[in-house]
Amino acid sequence: MAEIGLESARVVFYDEDNDTRRATDLDLVEKKREAASIQLEAYKNCIAQSYNRRVIQRNFQVGDLVLRKVQEEQRGKLDPKWEGPFKVIEKLSSGAYYLENAQGKALKRPCNAYHLRKYYA
């Protein structure tokens, strides 16, 4: 049986200096990881700034009069989009507000500020 004397590409391209380059890469891997972490944090900050630029801040104080958005499934085509006015009776730290109607009856659930807007009488 005749044996072929061709060497594989792996053997042909093997470099004796490969071990030192690999050790250098392993030493630099922590720096590359740190640079990637910094770049990721900068990207997150950029995205947050872009998002926050479009956010409309709605802050109400206790005693303010507000209108509440009517949910789509509870509203007909010609019905008003806002109902109220309601009076803010408590402000929660999460950006939600407890409301009471004109008769002084408090609503069971708090409303998010996104679904409220200031009422100007």
Domain locations in the chain? Answer: 9-54, 65-118
Which CATH topology does 65-118 take?
SH3 type barrels. (2.30.30)
Query: What's the average model confidence in pLDDT over 22-26?
Result: 85
| pTM of the full structure | 0.56
pLDDT at 34: 94
d(CA 68, CA 101): 11
CB 76 within 8 A of CB 45: no
d(CA 111, CA 15): 68
DSSP label at 62?
Answer: T
Largest CA distance in the chain: 104
48-to-11, 33, 55 alpha-carbon distances in Å: 51, 22, 11
